A and B are shown apart, each in its own frame.
Chain A
Amino acid sequence: MTLLGNNALLIAFIMSLYSAGTGIMGGKLKNPRLLESARRGALATFYLTTLAVGILLFALITRDFSIEYVANYTSKSLPMFYTISALWAGQAGSLLFWAWLLTLFTVIIIIQNKKVNQQLLPYAIGVLMSVSVFFFLLLIFTTNPFTKIPLPPADGMGMNPMLINPGMVFHPPLLYLGYVGFTVPFAFALAALLSGNLDTNWIQTTRRWTIMSWIFLTAGNLFGAYWAYVELGWGGYWAWDPVENAGILPWITGTAFLHSVMIQEKRGMLKIWNMVLIILTFALTIFGTFVTRSGVISSVHSFGVSNLGPLFIIFLGIILITSFYLLFLRKEMLSSKHELDSFLSKESTFLFNNLLLVGLAFAIFWGTIFPIISEAVRGVKITVGPPFFNQVAVPIGLALLFLTGVCPLIAWQKTTTKNLQKNFLIPTSLSLITLGVLYIAGIRSLYTLMSFTLAAFVAVTIFLEFVKGTLTRARIHSENFLVAFWRLVDRNKRRYGGYIIHIGVVMVFVGITGSTVFQKEKVATLHPGESMALGSFTLHYDDLTSKQGPDYQSVIAQIHVEKDGRQIAILNPEKRFFENRQPTTEVDIFKTLKQDIYVILGGYEKDKQATFKVFINPLVGWLWYGGMTMVLGGLLAIGPNNRKRRKNLKEKNREKSKHYNRKAVMTDA
């Protein structure tokens, strides 16, 4: 089996190399036969990679411990659900999964563009397959998932207990889907540069891919944060770890790209800037992979130290040099006439939004690599952790939130001062009322006041956009409000999907601010029957019991939580003890939209005396629901455009009827 897997990878490597070459040559020579050959090569690469993935999955499911990867990440007692997830739990498996996704996406774009984009497609296949070549090189020569063990163990090492969590099953594949997804718009951007077709075609062709990748990255980061919250047991969800930063960086530049392409589509401006953004986004996905897999920057989430670092740096260098060289060659063709009707226009706010997003990405990138820079310059290794990122990212984030609210109030091309005053009146008034209420309630922290006030400003702005749109539509088309609302959203999914994403952003800001600023914590050592108070809650420690798990011994505390003398929850935080691994802490959380009560069982004694750490995390649920809202908004934005579909259908019918009329005339004749 391993021989078959290795050979599949080797032939896939050769096929991807061939397909990359024939794709680019086919595009250059405009030779349809070479394009066809590139297509078939890509298809063969996909089949072979699928075979390799199938073999590894089979080995995992059958617990073939003669394969090093299987022995390192599974054990006989590991449940099947997590055994399958072991495919991406380790370095080699996840690289194979990545390569498989890339070949799958290549096949999908080949099918999607079977009859269109014949000028871009060969180059796009060439670029996608070139990226695949790199991953196959890693899989064959440095991180082979089919490496055999001479003396197979009776049982495997099993998965790291912290990875045994549903959040961790979905988090990596979603991130990979996002990372690999951004390869598609990047490939089409390079195809546009290589072919010289530099209109908006490459953007329109990959619009859904871009939003889909963005959705996957949003969901992936959200699952990662949720996993950290429920599994790592420190009461938080984002520690500004280098690997976490690596996940958020392409998301930020991808967000900038999603906004910026709208200006190119509407006004034909910023062609070079959009190219730069998609190149940076793809480069950051590779940078993220480098951080996670090289071990160069220490992180609790990384796969550990490996020899992959230099290879990723070389690959990153090749990507950046090639892309920017092509961009330089085409800079004359990409130059566009820059004219703005007014400084007060949506175009301006989008550009400032881009500035802040790229500035934020730079700040996080800079903080992530600063320990290496410091060591190189001063010879002193330093740490750049949460205090730095919070201080740097918060003001930029708040400015972005402000622009999120301002943008819908300003029209494309120009906005008159009168209009500006009219549009700003209600949102500004309501947000100032919010500010007053917060101040009276005793909140004095500037950032907290700004965050909630701006959140109110954005929420009101978006609400008014829906209201104004619905009323206008109801008036013009004489529809009732529900129908008008439905059709308003249905006929402009991209715009209103975007607004729903912004509602999600507001919820995320509320969640982050609430859970950071108002978090309460307390540590207490109690005997059964004793209680502790935190905020308006009283936690009664009832008992300590033990239980045998599949491969661990568990010690579980029972606590009941009271508010105003009424029991509201029973919580069971526990500690798990494994034979060959460090013990883990399983927190228990009572979740409401208002706040979470988060209980960690620390130490305990023979007489059942136990130490608990309890957090009250206000509004943290808003973060998860906000993230989900962003995903839903994104899904709406890529929904089928019914108006376009109807128009196409009409045109098709017109063509058909012309054809029949012509036929009828001929028959008559």
Chain B
Amino acid sequence: MKKTELIFILSLTAATLLQAQVSEIKKSLICTCDCGMTVSACEGAMECSTAAKITAKIENLVASGQTNDQVLASFVSMYGEKIMAAPSKKGFNLTAWILPFILIALTGIFLYRKLSKWANSARQVSETKNDHALKPIQQKYVKMLDKELEDYE
């Protein structure tokens, strides 16, 4: 492989990586044109000059060697937290992320215990019935019915 070809391939790879980084950052920022969409989505329609300016700024910062976090931090320092497409995962904002899962987990545990309790109480009632009410011949039919139902399913 010639040296020039190698340089060309390397520069192409670097450009692709930078483009991917820019693209990822654009999905994490909200356009300041008040559309409520991410820069990536707002720019999609290619009508928004604000989105184009933000993209240019991201490209400059990425080209200067900044990481994603550094670029995002510099935008937050300029526009405030509102520019981030999602709240940070710290402080009060953490409640946004974890509250739904905490509630689901707690309700899930509650539901599991309730269901187990209902199933136990039903089992006890059915065992009592089986012991006292069903004659051996009836128990034979119950078993047959269970088996047939099992086969049917």
Contact = CB atoms under 8 A, between A and B. Distances in A.
B87 A384 contact: yes
Nearest to A601: B46
Interface in A380-404: 380-388, 391-392, 396
Interface stretch (B3-11, B107-115, B135-143): B107-115
A392 B146 CA distance: 42
Contacts of B122: 339-342
B87 A370 contact: yes
A391 B96 CA distance: 12
Contact of A382 (B34, B37, B81): B81
Interface string B5-39: 00000000000000000010001101000111110
B44 interface: yes
Contacts of A348: 115
Interface stretch (A144-152, A189-197, A227-235, A439-447): A227-235
Contacts of B43: 234
B153 A419 contact: yes
A639 interface: no
B78 interface: no
A582 B46 CA distance: 12
A584 B100 CA distance: 39
B80 A380 contact: yes
A388 B87 contact: yes
Contacts of A378: 92
A603 B52 CA distance: 12
A239 B107 contact: no
A572 interface: no
Interface in A235-252: 235-236, 239, 241-242
A363 to B, nearest CB: 4
Interface in B101-137: 101, 103-104, 107-108, 111, 114-116, 118-119, 121-123, 125-126
Contacts of A600: 44-46
Contact of B150 (A233, A298, A418, A521): A418
Interface size class of B (residues with CB under 8 A): 35 or more
Contacts of B87: 370, 374, 382-384, 388
Contacts, number: 154
A352 B153 contact: no
B62 interface: no
A221 to B, nearest CB: 18
Given A233-B44, A585-B45, A600-B45, A383 B83 contact: yes
A338 B43 CA distance: 55
Nearest to B100: A363
Interface in A463-509: 472
B92 A385 contact: no
Contact of A385 (B30, B118, B126): B30
B47 to A, nearest CB: 6
A125 B42 CA distance: 46
B96 A472 contact: no
Given A351-B115, A367-B96, A611 B46 contact: yes
B153 A411 contact: yes
B93 interface: yes
A378 B94 CA distance: 13
Nearest to A611: B46
A533 to B, nearest CB: 13
B45 A340 contact: no
Interface centre among B37, B99, B111 (most CB of A within 10 A): B37
A239 B114 CA distance: 38
A584 to B, nearest CB: 8
B9 to A, nearest CB: 16
B82 interface: yes
A300 interface: yes
Interface string A396-438: 1000000000000001000110110001000000000000000
B88 to A, nearest CB: 8
Contacts of B104: 355-356, 359, 396
Contact of A603 (B46, B111, B123, B152): B46
A284 to B, nearest CB: 16
A268 interface: no
A385 B81 CA distance: 12
Contacts of A352: 108, 111
Contacts of B121: 339
B100 A351 contact: no
Interface of B: 23, 27-28, 30, 34-38, 40-47, 80-87, 92-93, 96-97, 99-101, 103-104, 107-108, 111, 114-116, 118-119, 121-123, 125-126, 146, 149-150, 152-153
Given A235-B44, A340-B119, A342-B119, 8 more contacts: A299-B36, A356-B104, A374-B92, A380-B80, A380-B81, A385-B85, A387-B28, A411-B149
A-B pairs, 7 with minimum CB distance: A234-B44, A363-B100, A602-B46, A385-B85, A359-B104, A387-B86, A388-B86
